[in-house]
Structure 1
Amino acid sequence: MDKELKVIFEDNHLLVVFKPHRLLIQSDESGSPTLFLQICQWIKEKYQKPGNVFLGMVHRLDRPASGLVVFAKTSKGASRLSEQIRAKAMKKKYQLIVQGELKTREGHCVHYLTNPGDGRSQVFETMVPESKRAELLYRVLGVKDGVSLVEVELITGRRHQIRAQMAHLGCPILGDGRYGSTQFFREGAIALVASELGFQHPTSPKELKFELPKELNSVARYWDEH
């Protein structure tokens, strides 16, 4: 795992960075290194800040996935970015490789997810007690050798949403044994990358869009090499 922080964009209010596979975003009971603390240390060293650094986490990315993540450097930035997420105004696209072929080349999926506490999200076709609506759009970009390259745009942001919904459709993400994959991707990783982020700047009307550079996109590289 590359320990050097890869910054895609930075200004006074926000920071867009690359999260590698296997790196936690925030701390858990394992005590493993986190992207959050790595960024705090990077800011302290770059700007020679003696005290604590403010860093607002506005969305997450699963540990075995990689890709673009935005953090807020000010409380105003954090609240306004969080509001965009609540209003479904932040565009988040992902590239993934799944086992098998989806039934249609494009789809609009609405399911209902529960978290029973076993580390997996359960998917239902209709609403059940304690379930949350999970909505996404997908587009198949290519099919070869029994696997498919898929682009997903999230409408909602539920825990393990893409992983659970793809598995429910009969096409688990490569490397995702938790959701039924039998094919290897990379050690400790699944074939899922956050490839695009789009949102309005928190303190101006400017629309920002970021795309993951090809050299950091493990899914695109795997697809080209296999």
Structure 2
Amino acid sequence: MKPEQQNVRLLTIEAEHEGQRIDNFLRTQLKGVPKSLIYRILRKGEVRVNKKRIKPEYKLLAGDVIRVPPVRVAEREQELPSARLDKVQALDAAILYEDDALIVLNKPAGTAVHGGSGLSFGVIEGMRALRPEARFLELVHRLDRDTSGILLIAKKRSMLKSLHEQLRDKTMDKHYFALVRGQWQAHQKAVTAPLKKNVLASGERVVRVDKEGKPSETRFRIIRRYREATLVEASPVTGRTHQIRVHSLHAGHPIAGDNKYGDAQFDDSMRELGLGRLFLHACRIRFYHPRLEQTMTLEAPLEPGLQRLLDKLPPA
């Protein structure tokens, strides 16, 4: 991979970045540079703030002048091998909404939100390749790799902070479509089982209902009944790992195509009808847009394959 040499840069911190850690700031400025190298130049004092050495946890102040030393950064043309160009183009086509502070994406199933754990490519890497001029691009929240649907990406730090506050305060509403096994009972409007995350020796994350787990709540609403399945709308009140999948299983109705928490016989029958993925889709989100000063509601349609499956299912 051909490298290029940057010159020393002096960056003045605007109010937009006040309060951000210097290490996180450098990661947005030095795209393509390994985190280990960023921490190395910080430890060696090559990065200066107002001509002084600082620690990685230093929080920026408006008006700070940052000295960014020359580093070797992979040329942008080489960042994405041709095998990934189709994925990047698919992300471009999946943008539902964009303004100067926010991107709303209908994330395809099978694409991780970020690289790591053996994956070198994810949504955020792809979006940074699509928007090389963007000085700031960060995920607001996450979706499982096999889950499709609405994903928020902040283009401004102020937007990221506002949306994170809404997530913490539970004022952001997220809704998912899930096709589950069997007949969901009308009285089962919420599951409040506590969830505990375990990491296996292989590094795989598995979540279980456990009285010692974290408080968790998912609300459910029946959308349509089929002979052997139910399409439900799930609304997570809390945001635990695999929450909807495990709460559905706990209610006795595992989600179709779930290779971790699903039912093999049910999955086989759905596979015969053409399902090749987890049937979990983030379909709608409602949040307050601080720059527009208004509440926004955005929807992401089901991908054609999921809709074709529903059309094949015999009604109850």
Question: Which TM-score band applies after superposition, normalised by the shorter structure?
Answer: 0.7 to 0.9
Cα pair 2:124 2:138 within 8 Å, conserved: no
Aligned position for 1:122: 208
Cα pair 1:198 1:207 within 8 Å, conserved: yes
Aligned position for 2:165: 83
Letter of the structure 2 residue corresponding to residue 120 of structure 1: V
CA distance in 1, matches of 2:175, 2:148: 12
Aligned position for 2:215: 133
Larger Rg computed on CA atoms: 2
Alignment of 1:208-219 (within 5 A): 208-214=296-302, 216=303, 218-219=305-306
So what's the TM-score if we normalise by structure 2? 0.64
- Which one of the candidate residues 51, 61, 76 is aligned to 2:143? 61
Give the total of aligned pairs. Answer: 214
Cα pair 1:95 1:219 within 8 Å, conserved: no
User: Structure 1 residues 217, 70: CA separation in 2 closer, same or farther (over 3 Å shift)?
Assistant: farther
Alignment of 1:27-46 (within 5 A): 27-44=115-132
Aligned position for 2:65: none
Alignment of 1:39-188 (within 5 A): 39-44=127-132, 49=133, 53-104=135-186, 106-118=188-200, 119-124=205-210, 127-128=211-212, 131-182=213-264, 183=267, 184-185=270-271, 186-187=275-276
Aligned position for 1:191: 279
Cα pair 1:95 1:192 within 8 Å, conserved: yes
CA distance in 1, matches of 2:295, 2:158: 17
Question: What is the DSSP-based 3-state SS (H/G/I as helix, E as strand, rest coil) of the residue aligned with 1:115?
Answer: strand
Query: Structure 1: which 5+ residue stretches go unaligned?
Result: none
The RMSD of aligned alpha carbons is: 1.9
Q: Would you tell me which structure has more helix in proportion to its own residues?
A: 2
Letter of the structure 1 residue corresponding to residue 208 of structure 2: Q
CA distance in 1, matches of 2:241, 2:113: 14
Query: Structure 2: which 5+ residue stretches go unaligned?
Result: 1-83
User: Structure 1 residues 71, 219: CA separation in 2 closer, same or farther (over 3 Å shift)?
Assistant: same
* Larger relative contact order (CA 8 Å, sep ≥ 6): 1
Please report how far the alpha carbon of residue 140 of structure 1 lies from its aligned counterpart in structure 2 after TM superposition.
1.2
Please report how far the alpha carbon of residue 56 of structure 1 lies from its aligned counterpart in structure 2 after TM superposition.
1.7
Cα pair 2:181 2:256 within 8 Å, conserved: yes
Letter of the structure 1 residue corresponding to residue 155 of structure 2: K
Aligned position for 1:224: 311
Q: Identity of counterpart residues, as a percentage?
A: 30
Cα pair 1:191 1:218 within 8 Å, conserved: no
Deviations 1:161-199 (A, max 9, x none): 000000111111001121032214543x20000000110
